[in-house]
Structure formats: C-alpha cells, structure tokens
C-alpha cells in the first residue's frame, strides 16, 4: 500500500483545507492527489492543489484544492475530501469507486492537475506524495514548485479560460499585474502628490511572498521602491513576523526598520494576506488592517464609477472580526451596502459575487474585489463613446486597469498592496490621511485550547454560541458590563484552538473582556492546556 494511513486522528477539510502537523499529512496528500484528479474529470477542467499552512508555524503544513475559476473547492466536495482523508486503507478503493459512481464520473476522460507549494521544508516530500496520488489515476499534471497561493489560483483560472484572464505562467502573473500598475501610475497626474515616488517596506514573513514580490518590484521600480525584509534568507517562517503576527499582537514584526511615517506591509506565509502599518514621530505603532484596506479600495472604486458616470451595485463583505468602527464608516459615511458572513474566504467570495462589484476583506488582511462582466462591458462602452480628453473615459480606463491589477480569484498580498498604493496615489493621500478615515474601536483577539473544539455550535454569522448552551448567556452578561462591548467566540478551522474576539471603549477594557470571555470558554467549553491568564499581570493598567 502506497502512503499508508498511520494515524487515527480525524482530519477535517476546514476553513482552508487540511491543516495540521506536517508529519501527519503523507497519506492525506496522496489521497488529495486522487481527489484532485476525480474533481478534474468531473468538472472537465484543470484543478489546482496548493500545499501550504499559510499563517501557521513552520512545523505545520496543509493542502487545499482550487476549483476551475480559481475559487475554493465547492462545499459538497469538502465533505468528500474529509471522507477520503479519514477512510481506512482497506476501504480506500471502494470509497473511490463509490464517489465515481455517485458523481457519474467518466474515469477514462482526460484530467489535469497543477500544484505548487510554499517554502516549508516539508513541502517537497508532501508534493511527491501528492504526485503519487495524481499518477495513480494516470492524470496529466504540472508541478509549479514554489509559488504563492494566489499565483496558483491565478494559474488555474488562466488555464481554464485559455489565457483570457492572463497568460497561464508565473511570469504571466507578474507581467499582468505590473503592466496594469505601470499604466495606472503613468496615467495619474497630480499637481501636488504627497510622495513623488513612494517607498514601501515589505515584511515577507520569511516566506514565498518575499521571493515573488522581489520579482514584481523589478518590473515596477519606475513608480515605486519596494524594500523587502524577512525575505526567507535566514529567519524562520511566520516567526515574530508576518501579517498574522502583526494583526494579533498589534505590534510591528521583528526585522523591519522603524522609520516614522514610512509605509510598511506584512504578508503571511503564502502571501494571500496583507496588513499595513506605520510608526509616528514618537515611534508608536499604527495598524491599517483588512477593514481599512477595504474602506480605501471600496472608496476608490466608488469614485472611479462616479467619475465614469456609472451607477453600479457595490457592496462590501466582512466577517464578525470586522472592527465595529469600520462597519459604521462604510454604512453611515460612505453609504455602502455591507454584508457580514462566516469566517473563511470561501464564504466572503460567494457573498461578494452577489454584487456587481463585491469588495471583500477579512480584518486579518485576506480579501480582494470581484467584478461582474457587466461592469467591464459598461466601462468599455464608456471608453468607446468618449473622446480622448473626456474625464469619464479616463476614469473608465483607470478602473479597467485597476481591475487588471486585481487578482479576482482570491486574496493576494502583492496585488492588494499594489491596489492600496494605487488608491493612495489616485486619492493623493498619505498613510496618515488614510488612517484617519475612521478610528478603530480598541479590540483584542485571544485563543484558548479546549479538549474538543467540535462541540461548539454557532449561529448568526458565527457571533453566537448555541452549544455548549451555558456559554452564550455568560458572554452576554460579560459584554453588558463594558461600554461599547462586543465579543464572540468560534472554533478555528486552521488551528486546534477556540478564538475569542472582544471590543470595548478602551484597550484595557477590550483586553479584560477578551480575558473574561476566554475564561468562560475554558471553564464551560472543556478547556485543556494552559488556563487563560489576566491581562497586564492582573493590574488595571492601560497598554502603552
């Protein structure tokens, strides 16, 4: 038996595929190879497989499938993935037969699977296991080796559209985005521009994003200087750096120079998230997360549409982690439609598809913009009808280039960063003005370990606990004690923890509310491991 299943632990296809310690994944990768081929035969299209554990520590790894348009695997096949990963070796071939039968898959039809991995040391042997699974069903394949997750999503969509979305090579990705960026920046002319040629410090999380952004920076150096730190040459992946570290710790990563008002951006381990930040003249850290990126980008697109004389149905999709101040700003100040869905890009992506222009971002910096074909048609119409000096026509051209700069398949650190840089230039604002759009409510995110996180059942876009029943009344009681209090808990789909989120009027109160709620989770949710400890050594101190 190739790649035998040596563990009894149940693995679930969670928020972003299978994710656990790398040494538990050999049989999973082999079976995912088989699954990808079956999916390819069923969809009659190329399917992607990305080997990554993204923001998790370097010892972890994971794997997820990419569907034909570059979107996440359809939910009904997530169930099949979980079944395949957990079935015993002796029942594997009968399960494959039953999948083929149930989904009426023509096993003799052609199939094509493309795959890539991040920079984790475990990646190459897991790639070999995946390939064995693919070859067991005689499928064609391409191993793209080390790429970012969004590059692989781009490749799948490009291949399946016969190059209409972009040239289906890693170089084609760099070319498409850099051409759109250069075109936009050569078009934008202000009498007074805050930064003639902007500079940005990028924290590459010691991962694949660092390698790819260096390639991109060479193509766009006429308009922006990108300096890369934590570039995978020496440091450990995601260790004291990267988008997740910055967002959760609410502090700067190690390895990035502190220069007041310099724009900084942190990517995560597979470069599908980005978080911005800067230091003020007192070297105090200020963060601009996915919510602020969404506000900037949605505002910029909305301005383009007004200038082009177009009325479009634009909506913003968030999750419960969105800061309350951002939701208020989008709805009350910008008068935009805002939807709230469960955590996980797949949920945001499908909700965003309901709008003509759907801007979706998780607070953790994961997001992109989706445009319906009708928007692109309307823009082309404006261009055809307008004269060359017509401001409507210029706005339509700019928006079309903005669309080309967007990786519509999935959140993309590099594409999102270039969209932010373009939006800042177009709006002629600097990082301070962007930050001043609204003031975040103080917040805190914690995680707590429980023996079995699957006992948690949630409702209302994961903002309320249905089971264990005793937890939600306690959370409600605690929240009512704090001014502007809001808190919710949910089991993570990528780590073996329950996440706790809290907001309140002051940082000290947000920290205490998060702590008190985490204690409830620990005590009533079957906590194991380390018991939560009070913030600020138990003292009522304000965080410096």
153 part of the interface to ligand G16, by CB under 6 A: no
268 part of the interface to ligand G16, by CB under 6 A: yes
Contact pick of 5, 11, 15, 129 for ligand G16 (by CB under 6 A): 15
Is the Cβ of residue 51 or residue 96 nearer to ligand G16 in the bound state?
A: 51
* Counts of helices then strands in the chain (DSSP H, E): 17, 19
CB of 499 to ligand G16, least distance (A): 5
412 contacts 150 by C-beta, under 8 angstroms: yes
Lookup: tokens for 292: 């602020």
| Residue 252 DSSP one-character state | P
Write down the residue that tokens 């995110």 correspond to. 445
Nearest to 456 by CA among 514, 496, 513: 496
Report phi then psi at 295, rounded to 5: -65, -45
Report phi then psi at 317, rounded to 5: -110, 130
The C-alpha atoms of residue 178 and residue 415 are separated, in whole angstroms, by: 9
Residue 90 assigned ligand-binding role: no
Strand partners, 420: none
In the three-class reduction of DSSP (H, G, I as helix; E, B as strand; rest coil), residue 500 is classed as: strand
Binding flags for ligand G16, 345-384, as an x/- string (CB under 6 A): x----------------x-x-x------------------
Is the Cβ of residue 55 or residue 444 nearer to ligand G16 in the bound state?
A: 55
Contacts of 70 (CB under 8 A, 6+ apart): 48, 153, 154, 156, 157, 408, 409, 410
Strand partners, 258: none
Tell me which stretch binds ligand G16 (CB under 6 A): 124-132, 245-253, 296-304, 338-346: 338-346
The C-alpha atoms of residue 48 and residue 290 are separated, in whole angstroms, by: 26
Q: Which helix (H) or strand (E) holds 56?
A: none
Lookup: tokens for 336: 């935009």
Q: Which helix (H) or strand (E) holds 62?
A: strand 60-66
528-536-464 Cα angle (round to 5): 50
Residue 272 assigned ligand-binding role: yes
Residue 496 assigned ligand-binding role: no
Contact pick of 273, 349, 378, 444 for ligand G16 (by CB under 6 A): 273
Residue 54 assigned ligand-binding role: yes
Is the Cβ of residue 120 or residue 366 nearer to ligand G16 in the bound state?
A: 366
Binding flags for ligand G16, 221-260, as an x/- string (CB under 6 A): ----------------------------------------
CB of 56 to ligand G16, least distance (A): 7
Residue 124 assigned ligand-binding role: no
Residue 408 assigned ligand-binding role: no
Binding flags for ligand G16, 290-329, as an x/- string (CB under 6 A): ----------------------------------------
Contact pick of 11, 16, 294, 504 for ligand G16 (by CB under 6 A): 16
Is 54 one of the catalytic residues?
yes
Contacts of 57 (CB under 8 A, 6+ apart): 237, 238, 239
55 part of the interface to ligand G16, by CB under 6 A: yes
Residue 493 assigned ligand-binding role: yes
Is the Cβ of residue 434 or residue 456 nearer to ligand G16 in the bound state?
A: 456
Sign of the C-alpha dihedral computed for residues 399, 400, 402 and 406 taken in this order:
positive
Residues 440-499 that bind ligand G16 (CB under 6 A): 492-495, 499
Contact pick of 344, 358, 525, 532 for ligand G16 (by CB under 6 A): 344
Catalytic residue among 40, 54, 129, 266: 54
Residue 322 assigned ligand-binding role: no
Binding residues for substrate: 362-364, 490-494, 499
Catalytic machinery residues: 54
* Residues near ligand G16, by CB under 6 A: 15-16, 54-55, 268, 272-273, 343-345, 362, 364, 366, 492-495, 499
């Amino acid at each position: 038996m190739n790649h035998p299943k040596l563990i009894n632990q149940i693995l679930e296809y969670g928020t972003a595929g299978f994710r656990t310690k790398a040494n538990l994944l050999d049989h999973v990768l082999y079976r995912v190879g088989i699954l990808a081929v079956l999916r390819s035969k069923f969809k009659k299209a190329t399917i992607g497989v990305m080997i990554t554990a993204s923001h998790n520590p370097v010892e972890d790894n994971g794997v997820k499938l990419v569907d034909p348009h570059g979107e996440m695997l359809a939910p009904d096949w997530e169930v099949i993935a979980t079944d395949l990963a957990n079935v015993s070796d002796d029942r594997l071939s009968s399960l494959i037969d039953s999948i083929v039968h149930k989904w009426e898959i023509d096993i003799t039809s052609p199939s094509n699977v493309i795959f890539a991995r991040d920079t984790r040391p475990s990646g190459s042997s897991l790639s070999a296991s995946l390939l064995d699974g693919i070859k067991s069903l005689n499928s064609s394949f391409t191993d793209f080796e080390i790429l970012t997750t969004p590059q692989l999503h781009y490749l799948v969509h490009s291949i399946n559209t016969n190059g209409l979305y972009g040239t289906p090579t890693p170089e084609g990705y760099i070319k498409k985005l850099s051409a759109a960026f250069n075109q936009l920046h050569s078009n934008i002319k202000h009498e007074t521009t805050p930064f003639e040629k902007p500079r940005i410090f990028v924290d590459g999380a010691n991962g694949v994003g660092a390698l790819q952004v260096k390639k991109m920076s060479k193509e766009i150096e006429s308009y922006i200087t990108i300096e890369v730190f934590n570039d995978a040459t020496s440091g450990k992946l995601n260790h004291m750096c990267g988008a997740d570290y910055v967002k959760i710790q609410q502090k700067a990563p190690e390895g990035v120079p502190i220069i007041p008002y310099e724009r900084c951006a942190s990517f995560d381990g597979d470069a599908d998230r980005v978080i911005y930040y800067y230091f003020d003249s007192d070297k105090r850290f200020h963060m601009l997360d996915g919510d602020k990126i969404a506000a900037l980008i949605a505002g910029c697109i909305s301005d383009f549409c007004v200038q082009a004389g177009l009325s479009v149905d634009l909506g913003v999709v968030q999750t419960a982690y969105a800061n309350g101040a951002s939701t208020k700003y989008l709805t009350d100040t910008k008068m935009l439609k805002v939807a709230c869905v469960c955590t996980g890009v797949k949920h945001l992506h499908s909700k965003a598809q309901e709008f003509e222009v759907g801007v979706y971002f998780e607070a953790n910096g994961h997001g992109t913009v989706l445009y319906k074909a009708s928007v692109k048609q309307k823009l082309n119409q404006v261009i055809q009808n307008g004269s060359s000096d017509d401001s409507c026509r210029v706005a339509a051209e700019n928006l079309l280039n903005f669309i080309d700069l967007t990786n519509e398949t999935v959140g993309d650190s590099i594409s999102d960063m270039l969209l932010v840089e373009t939006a800042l230039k177009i709006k002629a604002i600097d990082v301070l003005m962007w930050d001043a759009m609204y003031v975040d409510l103080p917040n805190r995110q914690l995680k707590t370990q429980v023996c079995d996180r699957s006992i948690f059942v949630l409702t209302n876009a994961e903002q309320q606990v249905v089971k264990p029943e005793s937890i939600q009344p306690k959370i409600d009681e605690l929240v009512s004690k704090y001014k502007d209090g809001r808190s919710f808990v949910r089991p993570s789909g990528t780590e073996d923890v329950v996440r706790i989120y809290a907001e309140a009027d002051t940082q000290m109160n947000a920290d205490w509310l998060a702590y008190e709620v985490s204690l409830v989770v620990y005590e009533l949710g079957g906590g194991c491991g380390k018991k939560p400890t009070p913030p600020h050594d138990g003292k009522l101190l304000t965080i410096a």
